Amino acid sequence: MNASTEFWRDPAMPYVESRRACHSRACYRPHSHPTYSIGAVDHGVSVFSGTGDGLTTLHAGAVVFVPPRRVHACNPMPEEAWSYQMLHLDAQWLYSVRQEGAKARPVDMQGEPIRLANDAWVYTRFCRLNALLFSEASVHDKEAALIGFIGDCDGAHGQPVATPSSDPAIHGRLSPVMDFLRHERMDTPSLAELAGMAAMLSGPYASAAWKVAYGAWMFGIVLLWDLLVAAMIGNPLVLRSFSRMLPWLERVCGGMLILLAFGVIAALLAS
């Protein structure tokens, strides 16, 4: 049979989107999502990676719950095809729903493990929910079914699976770096910012060789910059150019100071 893929998303429900793939042979490298992901195997056999024990084989009827930013991959067996469904939930929206359902109980998503469920009831509920999302049902009915599924199946079923990133200390060190990389920047990161991220990633977990290499690299960069500045200062051509530019630099600096003074006076009068 021919492979096919369907996507569903609704502007009225921006916190959820779904995908259905039939007879797919596509393979993906290890990756992560900013969303909370729930996947179900409909047909065939899949190999799931992202657990501390290595590879896990998933058969038809298996449901996987993957928290945000957990590196994983789920691919068919070599030379085989499989069918699956994927649901992606906005992490902040899911957190709010969990908070409402938890009442007085605290909700912690940071240390949540990946969970695997081989439960026919969970798989059937998931399939009904996804079929409803792809249907012409009302937004109210779809949202009610989604929240009902979360209340009944989210956290109540599935075997927790240890992951390499389940250590809260490591997660705490990686989070600032991941936020920095995901943030869209118009400028180029400075050397100090890149060095700071490298320090956050290394810390006490770095080997002695890494620390020596990192220190030698930083020392070499700073020394090269100092030598370059010293060579330029001693260059007669640079000195003559600077002498010609100095009067204009003094005028510009003076003008900026005058504008700053007028700004301070205006602020004082306005207050």
What are the tens digits of pLDDT across the range 73-108?
899 998 899 999 999 999 999 989 888 876 545 555
Query: CA-CA distance, 71 to 166, in Å (whole number)?
Result: 11
Q: Kindly state the average pLDDT of the residues 222-233.
A: 79
pLDDT: which is higher, 222 or 12: 12
Computed on alpha carbons and rounded to an integer, the radius of gyration of the chain in Å comes to 28
Cβ-based neighbour number of residue 30 at 10 Å: 9
Q: Which residues contact 226 (CB under 8 A, 6 or more apart)?
A: none
Report the candidate in 21, 16, 40 with the shortest Cα–Cα distance to residue 144: 16
- Residue 75 sits at φ, ψ, to 5 deg, of -135, 155
According to DSSP, residue 30 is labeled S
- Residue 83 sits at φ, ψ, to 5 deg, of -125, 140
Tens-place pLDDT, residues 132-151 = 999 999 999 999 999 999 98
Q: Which two tokens stand for residue 85?
A: 């469904």
Q: Kindly state the average pLDDT of the residues 246-259.
A: 86
Q: Which residues are bridge partners to 7 per DSSP?
A: 19
Cα-based angle 98, 103, 105 (whole degrees, multiple of 5): 85
pLDDT score, position 254:
86
pTM: 0.60
Mean pLDDT of the chain: 81
Q: How confident is the model at residue 195 (pLDDT cuts 50, 70, 90)?
A: low
Strands (E), the chain: 4-10, 13-24, 36-43, 46-51, 54-58, 63-66, 73-76, 82-89, 114-117, 159-161
Instruction: Judge: domain 4-161, CATH 2.60.120.810.
Output: yes
- Contact (Cβ atoms closer than 8 angstroms) between residue 39 and residue 61: no
Q: How confident is the model at residue 21 (pLDDT cuts 50, 70, 90)?
A: very high
pLDDT: which is higher, 194 or 264: 264
pLDDT score, position 266:
85
For the chain, the first-to-last Cα distance in angstroms comes to: 76
Q: Kindly state the average pLDDT of the residues 40-51.
A: 88
Report the candidate in 82, 64, 63, 93 with the shortest Cα–Cα distance to residue 21: 82
Instruction: Go through the chain and tell me how many residues it has.
Output: 271
pLDDT score, position 226:
80
Crossing angle of helices 139-153 and 91-102, rounded to 10°: 70
Lowest pLDDT segment from 41-55, 62-76, 95-109, 255-269: 95-109
- Contact (Cβ atoms closer than 8 angstroms) between residue 205 and residue 169: no
DSSP 175-218: HHHHHHHHS--SSPPPHHHHHHHHHHHHGGGS-HHHHHHHHHHH
pLDDT score, position 167:
53
Query: CA-CA distance, 64 to 157, in Å (whole number)?
Result: 10
- Contact (Cβ atoms closer than 8 angstroms) between residue 171 and residue 32: no
Give the 3-state secondary structure of residue 1.
Answer: coil
pLDDT at 230 over 60: yes
pLDDT: which is higher, 42 or 243: 42
Highest-pLDDT range among 53-67, 125-139, 188-202, 236-250: 125-139
The fraction of the chain above a pLDDT of 70, given in percent, is 73
